[in-house]
Amino acid sequence: MAATSSAAAQRRPQLTTRAILTGLLLGTILTPCNVYAGLKIGWAFNMSIAAALLSYGAWALAARWGTARPWGLLENNINQTTASAAASIVSAGLVAPIPALTLLTGQELTWPWLAFWVLAVSLLGVALGVGLRRHMLEVEALTFPAGVATAETVREIYARGQEAAPRIRMLLGGGLAAASLKLASDHLSAVSRIAPPISWPIGGASAQNLGFALDPSLLMVGFGAIVGLRVGLSLLIGAVLAWGVLGPWALGQGWAQTGEASPEAVWFSSMVKWLLWPGVTLMLTSSPP
């Protein structure tokens, strides 16, 4: 029986044209979302689960209407792999070193140089991945959390298909709510960052100058829900130590330039040069050996 099931699974379509095209389409849509999230919160996602859920919902609806054959598990695996590969292009530096270069020096890479850099880094990553695949997956049998979560989600979808619909509705509903709030805050009520009326005795900086402000964005709420209370408190303590203690001290010593002398101005660019290296030191010393 097991041999029959295995043979039947192998005969199911996998590397199909629609699986690749679906992954490319979803990757095209999800990659800008990943870039925005990375620039906003400093953290990017592989988008595998989102791509698997969205493709399942779209092709299941098409199959119900009789316009397409059922969307198989193996096809969905190719789809989510393709979409995840597209969304992971941010690892080529689009949300870390390249924006950091612009913030620190003001230099902006032109489109041809940026495209060449992303292509070169992506090809290098593929070559390294192929070379390390056997050692990491077969020899050491490493467990990749994102891959395990994606595999379990896809298995549950196809084992109990009725569970996919609530997840898809939750995904689309969350996206619609976040987009509605963003559009309303930007174009209707123009809700801006809210900073408490606090001034630091050292350096004469306001809370807004140091970046202590409430950002009305559901992206921050979602990020906090994902990382959990422990990581959230760690980030809060690090922010208070960096921007509430070390930053004003650097200003008081005259090392960092204050920039625009206004309580509403943000002095991030002028202060981050002094706070970068203490932050790197804290990250290195707190990481496990």
* Backbone angles phi and psi of 9, in degrees to 5: -65, -35
Note whether residue 197 is domain-resident.
no
Q: Are residues 142 and 69 in the same domain?
A: yes
Model pLDDT, residue 289? 58
The pLDDT value given to residue 83: 92
Statement to judge: residues 252 and 150 lie in one domain = no
**Is 170 domain-assigned?**
no
> Whole-angstrom Cα distance, residue 153 to residue 59?
17
Amino acid at 193: R
Q: Are residues 21 and 114 both part of a single domain?
A: yes
The answer as to whether 49 is a domain residue is yes
Other C-beta atoms closer than 10 Å to the C-beta of 279 total: 14
Angle, alpha carbons 182-187-189 (nearest 5°) = 85
- Residue owning tokens 């890479």: 109
Task: Show which of 159, 178, 197 is a domain's final residue.
Answer: 159
In a domain, 245, yes or no: yes
**Per-residue pLDDT at 163:** 66
Asked which of 93, 125, 159 is the last residue of a domain, the reply is: 159
For residue 235, the Cα-to-chain-centroid distance in whole angstroms is 17
In this structure, are 90 and 149 located in the same domain? yes
- Structural domain contains residue 55: yes
Nearest to 164 by CA among 63, 265, 34, 33: 63
Q: What is the pLDDT of residue 77?
A: 92
Report the C-alpha gap between 32 and 133 in whole angstroms: 28
In a 13 Å sphere around the CA of 105, the CA atoms on its Cβ side amount to 8
Give residue 251's identity as a one-letter amino acid code. L
- Full residue range of the structural domain in which residue 42 is found: 2-159
Number of domains making up the chain = 2
Q: Give the DSSP H or E segment for 280.
A: helix 268-286
Mean pLDDT split into 10-residue runs, the chain, 289 residues: 44 84 92 84 82 89 88 91 86 80 81 88 86 84 81 81 73 80 70 70 75 77 82 85 84 72 73 80 72
* Domain's final residue, options 140, 159, 178: 159
* Cβ atoms of residues 271 and 251 within 8 Å: yes
CB atoms near residue 125 (< 10 Å): 15
Question: DSSP for 217-253?
Answer: -HHHHHHHHHHHHHHHHHHHHHHHHIIIIIHHHHHHT
